[in-house]
Amino acid sequence: MTQASPVRTDLARDTDLRQRTGNRFMLTTFRSLFTRRSTTWGVSLADARLADGDRVYAIGDIHGRVDLLESMLEMIFCDDIGDVDRCWIIYLGDYVDRGDHSYAVIDLLLNEAPSRFTVVYLCGNHEEAMLDFLDGGKNSAAWLQFGGMATLMSYGVPVPPGVLTNAKIAECANRFRTVVPEEHLAFLNGLRDSFTLGDYYFAHAGIRPELPLHMQSAKDLRWIRNEFLDCDEIYQKVIVHGHTVTDEPEFRPNRINIDTGAYFSGKLTCLVLERDSRRILTCKRENTSDTGAFRGV
């Protein structure tokens, strides 16, 4: 039997090794396209900035407090423009529920801002729940319990007394559909999941840390909490969010939280971004309601 040449065997072994190494490299490269980017590629708060000429006013959760929103917009519209070329107002969602004036809040948001402003409206978990209720979704009872009753009443739909049976919920939903203006529905259905400008990424609740920004789901952007809040990794952008109430605006190396619980605290917060600077505008009014039960939803 003729034995293969040792030189030929070594060549075949080297060829096989190069093929296997190349395949592993290609697989690793492919995976890297669909998994979290290296933190060395991210942007920390210390380095984040907007392009020269841009200014952002990001407004936290409103929850039916039309009084605070009116005051905040007055502050924004009177703010010194300086040498700014482009002004953005970015609403982070949760316009409805809990407060008494959800209808009025949406009406006010529909008003046209001065021409120098570009306005972006993001969708919060409460807008998602409101739309689900209008569609007869399975979570209708939950929405009523975590703030939806106040929204119904702001549209003139009374909540039946006693236990909320499926029949009573269906009756409320049917009446609600008849009174919600078409422009309100169009507004709610047109809300965005997220927005990016400069080194900042705006979302209502946050992001799922293990996924790159372009792969975030609407569910996570509107509902996520602990997995995002407990993560210290630096992301591709600094995340500006609301959804989780804090007594004061929260600045972390990877995120900024501006939900200061307007409904029960009487304090609405706006984050102002320009170049590499950050400042806070606050509107505050006394609130005597006992509303602490709503802090975590």
Under the banding of pLDDT at 50, 70 and 90, the label for residue 1 is very low
Alpha helices in the chain (DSSP H): 6-33, 66-77, 102-110, 125-134, 140-143, 149-154, 166-179, 182-189, 218-223, 226-229, 262-265
Residues 227-251 as b or e (16 or more Cβ within 10 Å = b): ebbebeebbbbbbbbbbbbeeebee
Residue 122: name the closest of 88, 89, 92 by CA. 92
CA distance 291 to 261: 10
C-alpha to C-alpha distance for 74 and 270, rounded to whole angstroms: 12
Predicted confidence (pLDDT) per residue in 196-223, tens digit? 999 999 999 999 999 999 999 999 999 9
> What was the pLDDT predicted at 8?
41
- pLDDT (0 to 100) of residue 295: 52
pLDDT the model gives residue 227: 98
Question: Is the CATH number 3.40.50.11260 carried by domain 43-294?
Answer: no
pLDDT digits 0-9 by tens, 59-70: 999 999 999 999
- pLDDT, residue 249, reads 98
11: pLDDT strictly greater than 60: no
pLDDT in the model for residue 291: 44
Q: Report the pLDDT value the prediction gives residue 196, as an integer from 0 to 100.
A: 98
Contact status, residue 255 vs residue 246, Cβ threshold 8 Å: no
Q: Judge whether residue 7 has pLDDT over 80.
A: no
Nearest to 247 by CA among 232, 267, 233: 267
Q: At residue 9, does pLDDT exceed 60?
A: no
Q: What percent of the chain is modeled with pLDDT above 90? A: 76
Using the predicted structure, report yes or no on whether residue 24 has a pLDDT greater than 50: no
Token pair of 297 as six digits: 């939803």
Lowest mean pLDDT among 25-29, 53-57, 189-193, 228-232: 25-29
Measured CA to CA, the distance from residue 145 to residue 148 in angstroms comes to 7
The predicted-structure confidence for 115-170, as pLDDT tens digits, reads as follows: 999 999 999 999 999 999 999 988 899 999 999 999 999 999 998 888 889 999 99
| CA distances for 126 relative to 64, 84, 140, 145, 261, angstroms | 11, 33, 12, 12, 14
203/41 Cα distance (integer angstroms): 20
- In percent, the amount of the chain with pLDDT more than 70 equals 83
Q: Note the pLDDT of residue 124.
A: 98
pLDDT for 163: 81
Cα separation, 34 vs 199, in Å, equals 21
More confident residue, 250 or 297: 250
- Mean pLDDT for the stretch of residues 38-61: 90
Q: Which residue carries 């400042």 as its tokens?
A: 279
